[in-house]
Amino acid sequence: MLRFLIQRTVIAVLVAVTVSIIGFSLLRLSGDIASVLAGETAKPADVARVAHAYGLDRPFYIQYLDWAWHALRGDLGQSLFTHEPVAGLILDRIGVTAILAVSSLIFALVIAVPLGVLAALRVNTWVDRTALTLAVFGQAIPIFWFALILIFVLGVMLRVLPISGSATPAHFVMPTITLGVATMPAFMRLTRTGMLEVMASDYIRTAWAKGLHPASVIFKHALRNAILPVVSLSAVSLGFLLGGSVIVESIFALNGIGLLAYNSITRIDFPVVQSILVFLSLCYIALTLISDLINARLDPRIRL
């Protein structure tokens, strides 16, 4: 197990370094940041002055090594536009994104798992078809449109929920529903498929034959096995959700990582985008590592 842990950790570090290099390269290729910083009235000499002042006229690899060296020491630099420390920007926003991510994941699981179980137990009935329709709805509807519909109905017509901001728990209800509905279908389908497979297995047939209570068969014997892939998917989904939904955070004015990333990308704020990229890749890597370790613990064959 220790050898497996070391192997996975080394791979995780290599992935993080690779992501940072690729991200840095792509960002540098995406446009001339000095001319944007210098503004629309700037003359070529002004652009050159800005490039020099911000160190953008140095060779690419020097810029990367400089960034990496400072990042390793915890200094992620400053925003090129607002001059705020990048670490502070991310720390200020991670709370909002974490609340949204966890609440959306819980919302999705609370809806998806029972629905998946029900659909599997009532396969090919109206219950199953309704569950699958809901899953298709969640996958197909554009997030922004669903968010606007919620705002229109709950915020404008009924006026029961606040439309934007993050001041109270009520402010997170609509964003959670929006993101949760988009996340739910995969869990629902996975639960349904897993339950269908497990329910057809010999040991479940034996459990029924022994006259066990249906709740015991379904939840104690079947669901415990069927839900294992859902646990793995949850870890990956949490990584996705921690990346923040740009659209959801933008529409509901939640000042999270996704919105920060969007604002920074639109004006090519290199230090902020680069740091968010590495931060999110580290989240993914950590969650995937945890998921791998859990799976390895549950299934010894994976360690081989």
Partner 1 sequence: MLRGIFTAAIAGTAMLATPALAQKAQDTLRLGMLDPVSTVDIILDPKPETSFTSEAVFDGLLVYVPKTEEFKPELAESWTHIDARTLEFKLRRDVKFHDGSPFSADDVVYTVNYLVDPASKLRFGDNWQWIEKAEKVDQYTARIIAKQPTAYDLARIGTNMPIYPAAIHGKLADKSEFGRKTPIGTGPYKVEYVDSTKGVMLVKNPDDKLAAPWRPAARIGRIHLIPIPDLQTQIAQLMTGGLDLIHEVPKDQAEQLAATPGFTMTANQGVVFYYMSLDSVNRSGNAALSKEDVRKALMMAVDRQSLVKNVVPGGKAVEIVDALCVKIQIGCSYSSNPPAFDPAAAKQLLAKAGYPDGFDAEITTFPGAHAVGEAVAGQLRKIGVRASVDQKTFVGYRDKQREGKLQILVGHWSSGGLPDVASTMTYYFGGGPRDYWHDKTIDTWAAEAAQEMDPAKRAALYHKVFDYVNAHAYIMPLTTFPSILVHTSDLVVEQGSLSPAGASLDLMHWK
The residues binding partner 1 (CB under 8 A) are 30-32, 35-46, 49-50, 53-54, 78, 81-84, 89, 92-93, 96, 142, 145, 148, 151-152, 155-157, 159, 162-167, 250-253, 255, 259, 262-263, 266-268
Query: Which helix (H) or strand (E) is 253 found in, with range?
Result: none
| Smaller CB separation from partner 1, 49 or 58 | 49
| Smaller CB separation from partner 1, 40 or 202 | 40
Token digits for 38?
Answer: 């210098």
Cβ-in-10-Å burial (0-12, 13-18, 19+) of 67 comes to buried
| Smaller CB separation from partner 1, 158 or 304 | 158
**Cβ 140 to partner 1 shortest distance, Å:** 14
Biggest CA–CA distance in the chain, Å, is: 86
**Cβ 37 to partner 1 shortest distance, Å:** 5
Give exposure, 92-124, as e/b (b: 16+ Cβ within 10 Å). ebbebbbbbbebbbebbbebbbebbbbbbbeee
**Cβ 168 to partner 1 shortest distance, Å:** 13
**Cβ 164 to partner 1 shortest distance, Å:** 5
H helices of the chain, in order, are 2-29, 33-38, 44-53, 60-72, 86-121, 126-140, 143-150, 173-199, 202-209, 214-215, 224-226, 228-242, 246-251, 257-266, 270-298
| Smaller CB separation from partner 1, 39 or 214 | 39
| Smaller CB separation from partner 1, 72 or 167 | 167
Residue 114's nearest CA partner among 98, 131, 136 is 131
Residue with tokens 């029972």: 114
**Cβ 42 to partner 1 shortest distance, Å:** 5
| Smaller CB separation from partner 1, 163 or 290 | 163
| Smaller CB separation from partner 1, 250 or 288 | 250
Other CB atoms within 10 A of residue 225 CB: 15
**Cβ 86 to partner 1 shortest distance, Å:** 12
**Cβ 235 to partner 1 shortest distance, Å:** 28
| Smaller CB separation from partner 1, 19 or 36 | 36
**Cβ 170 to partner 1 shortest distance, Å:** 13
85 forms beta bridges with: 78
Residue 217 DSSP label: I
Q: Are 261 and 273 in contact (CB under 8 A)?
A: yes
DSSP 112-170: HHHHHHHHHHTTTSHHHHHHHHHHHHHHHS-HHHHHHHHIIIIIIIS--S--S-SSSGG
